[in-house]
Structure 1
């Protein structure tokens, strides 16, 4: 049977049709960049202290009512405690002054019974100040991000299955609308619990539309256009959206106005429903040959080329229709070689996600200004995606991913060796680790899409992304390991990177091979190349079948 790429080769690579699909699909990724990390600002904890009622307290006791504590070598007001107000009122009524007549260190303290006063130097308001997620309720602040990523996890699984069942295009637009609608609804949330429920629903569409968009473009485009789209297009779309986030946040200091600005652009993509096509490759996998040919003929008209009378032919018989391939998620585990590939990919996705989000959360503290910190963390992704584009074009997939893990692992392990006096070098190594995690994520999207057949491509990508979301859920806890040892987070992330090298070398290679259209074609990928001392043992357990 003639493969899809050969069947549509007459369209060329960079015609008007391909350019339209390329840029419109890339534009739909922009809300992902802003939405994925908007919680950095929306749920940030501003400086705060206990509310002190004005009644019966002199100015001096008003100023001294909140005890001080040492934070990073500096004295700052305690955000969760105050001196007992009944004692302060007695001192004030008797004309006693703090420090001179009364030793403050000996006074009894109490919780903030009257609420808190939040600083507006950086933010006008955040979810934390809105719902008082401080002190005894502080555990709700990191849990908020975890709930969002749990929504992403669930959405990644179901969107992949639905996209393989009902098509890439319906799921793409459904998840765009879900993300926009529930993000907008968060503004009216009356409580933290309702806000989290809406945030979870927003997460259902956040990365799901990214995966659907990625697979849709990968299946429509061919040749160099596919490589550019997979390695650069969607990734830069995400990075540009990420870089605009601190710009929006800088001018919109209220979490509600920032959420509104992030949610509204999602509705602007609705008219693209009548412009963007469904994946012809997916239509063919469902036996809908007529619809697939109609899309390709329209593309030929846009590119001003002549389409053959019969576009999708079977090499054995011109009258035989394109065979229907129907799969479900269980097909990922039925065949031994496919199951091993899936398990190894899931581990690599998990490790990269922990590293990416762990470093992203940590680099947000690189500068005292959170807007500059976020921008620096976003900017480093641009050269990472550019280098990834070159790697996808010229390097075998396994070699490129292994190089990423080696770079990341060595950089993270080396941070603990840097003297405290050379802070700039430590920051540079951490940014190098973020560079590797970003490039590796981009490589894995392309690698995963190339390994699986059309009927399973979105399901497999969704499963891998779903597993990676478990990594994003635990990443904040990995960062918190620094309470035991300053460099323990870097050692943990570096160890994950190094362990992933072993998993990567057992994956099949897909470099310069056409996209598989059936499980049989997937199983014919070349087997892993290993040192001869291990080749016999591997051949008995994890070798992927090879036509050679």
Structure 2
């Protein structure tokens, strides 16, 4: 039986149909780049200090009521303490001058019992200023982001399972709707607890639609179009959305206005439902050959080419025997049921986890590149464009394992060498860190392509969703790993670099998928060569047979 790519080869690679679907799918990723990193601004902590109510105080005492504290070697106004207001008012009424008549260090201090005063120099409002997530409640600020990523983690898994069960297209639009609806609902949150629930629900659809969109395009396109889409298309769409975020945030300094601005454009994608097709490859895996042929014939008409009388004749003959039955038993457990597939799944989950830790750790750490968060965010986004562009060349010319290993080696060496850079050459340290971010970004695109090419149609979205789900645990703990610098200045870099070095080694044990058709069954997946099973070729499967006998 011919594979899917050979069956639709008559369509060509860059016809009107492919161009239309390519740009429509890429455009649906723009909101993801904006919403995923909007937490940088939405949950940022403005400068603040204890609120001093309108009481009768002299100007000297009004300026001195907030004590000074040493922070990183510099004196700053305390953010969480003030001198007891009743004592200060009495001293002010007595005409005493702070510092001259009264030793301020001898005065008793108190918490911010009247609330806080937040600086409006950078933001009109953030989640932190609205719900007072400071001082004793400061733990709620990073926890808010963690709740969002927990939603991403859960959504990444279930969206994959649902996509393999109900189709790529319905899950793509459903997760887009979930993300938009719960994003808008956040601005009406009456409390921080309700906001966390909405953040979690928003996270359910945030990256889930990215995965569904990625798999949908990978299965529709063939040849060079598939490589461009997998390595550059959706990734650059994400990066462009990321680059637009600081621009929008610069002009909209209220977190509610920013949330609305990055969410409302989602309504523009509603008409896409009637234009974007379902994945013909997925339809074939479900035995729905007629629907798949209808989509391909429509594409042929759009591309102005003549379709053969029977496009999927072999599929029609074997559909009930091969596809319908195999899909019925394809579940998450099939990722672990057989030893060879389980080994592939475990290794992929580990390298995905490592890449997520490095990517989000370096992205969150780029705030030190510039004192202005808008510039820092833009620089962090800009570096992703050349990273994704270079991925296209790697996907086109390099074996998948070689490309992924090179990515991890660059990440590892650049981060491990940072500690060797003298303090007087700060620019070199920043350059090495950005080189690591460049490689980690490129690796994200490579792993999406690699994962999609390793698994059969019935398991492809489940496998991708599972790997992304595991990687999200890395995004959840990355901020905490950055705090390792408290114990040793470069400990977080050493941790990231060590994980990357181990990932480079274990990648050697993954099967190779370079220039091979996408597997459509688990049996075809077994026939992929790897360092553990190098003798598998297109003509022999002795190693697979040996492996099967051990299971």
Q: TM-score, length-normalised on structure 2?
A: 0.95
Secondary structure of 1:527 counterpart: coil
| Cα RMSD, aligned residues only | 2.0
Secondary structure of 2:287 counterpart: coil
For residues 240 and 43 of structure 1, what CA distance do their matches in structure 2 show?
22
> Are the aligned partners of 1:313 and 1:321 in contact in 2 as well (CA < 8 Å)?
no
The yes-or-no answer on 1:258 pairing with 2:261 is no
For residues 10 and 187 of structure 1, what CA distance do their matches in structure 2 show?
50
TM-aligned CA distance change 1:321 to 1:296, over 3 Å: farther
Superposed, 1:453-472 pairs within 5 Å as 453-472=456-475
The yes-or-no answer on 1:371 pairing with 2:357 is no
Q: Which residue of 1 aligns with 2:32?
A: 32
Which piece of structure 1 moves more, 34-43 or 81-90? 81-90
Q: Which residue of 1 aligns with 2:538?
A: none
Q: Which residue of 1 aligns with 2:122?
A: 122
For residues 317 and 409 of structure 1, what CA distance do their matches in structure 2 show?
51
Q: Which residue of 2 aligns with 1:492?
A: 495
Q: Which residue of 1 aligns with 2:304?
A: 304
Secondary structure of 2:368 counterpart: coil
The yes-or-no answer on 1:478 pairing with 2:481 is yes
Q: Which residue of 2 aligns with 1:23?
A: 23
Secondary structure of 2:117 counterpart: strand
Q: Which residue of 2 aligns with 1:388?
A: 391
| Partner residue of 2:359 out of 356, 370, 387 | 356
TM-aligned CA distance change 1:186 to 1:334, over 3 Å: same
TM-aligned CA distance change 1:95 to 1:315, over 3 Å: closer
> Are the aligned partners of 1:179 and 1:266 in contact in 2 as well (CA < 8 Å)?
no
For residues 530 and 294 of structure 1, what CA distance do their matches in structure 2 show?
40
TM-aligned CA distance change 1:145 to 1:410, over 3 Å: same
Which piece of structure 1 moves more, 211-220 or 362-371? 362-371
Secondary structure of 1:364 counterpart: helix
| Partner residue of 2:334 out of 331, 334, 337 | 331
Displacement, 1:212? 0.1
Which residues of structure 1 form unaligned runs of 5+? 533-538
Displacement, 1:322? 7.0
Secondary structure of 1:276 counterpart: coil
Displacement, 1:484? 1.1
User: How many matched pairs?
Assistant: 539
Secondary structure of 2:70 counterpart: strand
Q: Which residue of 2 aligns with 1:77?
A: 77
Displacement, 1:482? 1.1
> Are the aligned partners of 2:533 and 2:543 in contact in 1 as well (CA < 8 Å)?
no
Secondary structure of 2:369 counterpart: coil
The yes-or-no answer on 1:522 pairing with 2:525 is yes
> Are the aligned partners of 1:528 and 1:544 in contact in 2 as well (CA < 8 Å)?
no
Displacement, 1:527? 2.1
Displacement, 1:365? 2.6
> Are the aligned partners of 1:22 and 1:233 in contact in 2 as well (CA < 8 Å)?
yes
TM-aligned CA distance change 1:109 to 1:544, over 3 Å: farther
Q: Which residue of 1 aligns with 2:162?
A: 162
For residues 540 and 320 of structure 1, what CA distance do their matches in structure 2 show?
29
> Are the aligned partners of 1:46 and 1:129 in contact in 2 as well (CA < 8 Å)?
yes
Q: Which residue of 2 aligns with 1:213?
A: 213
For residues 527 and 134 of structure 1, what CA distance do their matches in structure 2 show?
52
Q: Which residue of 2 aligns with 1:535?
A: none
Which piece of structure 1 moves more, 23-32 or 56-65? 56-65
Displacement, 1:59? 1.4
Displacement, 1:540? 11
Displacement, 1:72? 3.2
Which piece of structure 1 moves more, 349-358 or 68-77? 68-77
For residues 319 and 191 of structure 1, what CA distance do their matches in structure 2 show?
53
For residues 457 and 500 of structure 2, what CA distance do their matches in structure 1 show?
30
> Are the aligned partners of 1:227 and 1:393 in contact in 2 as well (CA < 8 Å)?
yes
Displacement, 1:339? 0.7
TM-aligned CA distance change 1:396 to 1:544, over 3 Å: farther
Per-residue deviation, residues 390-432 of structure 1 (Å, max 9, x unmatched): 0000000000010011100010011111111111111111101
> Are the aligned partners of 1:2 and 1:313 in contact in 2 as well (CA < 8 Å)?
no
Q: Which residue of 1 aligns with 2:96?
A: 96
For residues 333 and 100 of structure 2, what CA distance do their matches in structure 1 show?
76
| Partner residue of 1:503 out of 503, 506, 515 | 506
Q: Which residue of 2 aligns with 1:536?
A: none
TM-aligned CA distance change 1:277 to 1:64, over 3 Å: same
Displacement, 1:217? 0.1
For residues 461 and 172 of structure 1, what CA distance do their matches in structure 2 show?
14
For residues 124 and 310 of structure 2, what CA distance do their matches in structure 1 show?
63
> Are the aligned partners of 1:54 and 1:62 in contact in 2 as well (CA < 8 Å)?
no
Secondary structure of 1:70 counterpart: strand
Q: TM-score, length-normalised on structure 1?
A: 0.96
Displacement, 1:313? 2.4
> Are the aligned partners of 1:45 and 1:129 in contact in 2 as well (CA < 8 Å)?
yes
For residues 220 and 501 of structure 1, what CA distance do their matches in structure 2 show?
31
Which piece of structure 1 moves more, 310-319 or 164-173? 310-319
Displacement, 1:279? 0.1
The yes-or-no answer on 1:513 pairing with 2:504 is no
> Are the aligned partners of 1:481 and 1:489 in contact in 2 as well (CA < 8 Å)?
yes
The yes-or-no answer on 1:347 pairing with 2:315 is no
For residues 547 and 493 of structure 2, what CA distance do their matches in structure 1 show?
34
Q: Which residue of 1 aligns with 2:87?
A: 87
Which residues of structure 2 form unaligned runs of 5+? 536-541
TM-aligned CA distance change 1:350 to 1:27, over 3 Å: same
TM-aligned CA distance change 1:108 to 1:364, over 3 Å: same
Q: Which residue of 2 aligns with 1:65?
A: 65
> Are the aligned partners of 1:10 and 1:305 in contact in 2 as well (CA < 8 Å)?
yes
TM-aligned CA distance change 1:461 to 1:62, over 3 Å: same
Displacement, 1:74? 2.6
For residues 143 and 315 of structure 2, what CA distance do their matches in structure 1 show?
56
Which piece of structure 1 moves more, 357-366 or 319-328? 319-328
For residues 74 and 9 of structure 1, what CA distance do their matches in structure 2 show?
67
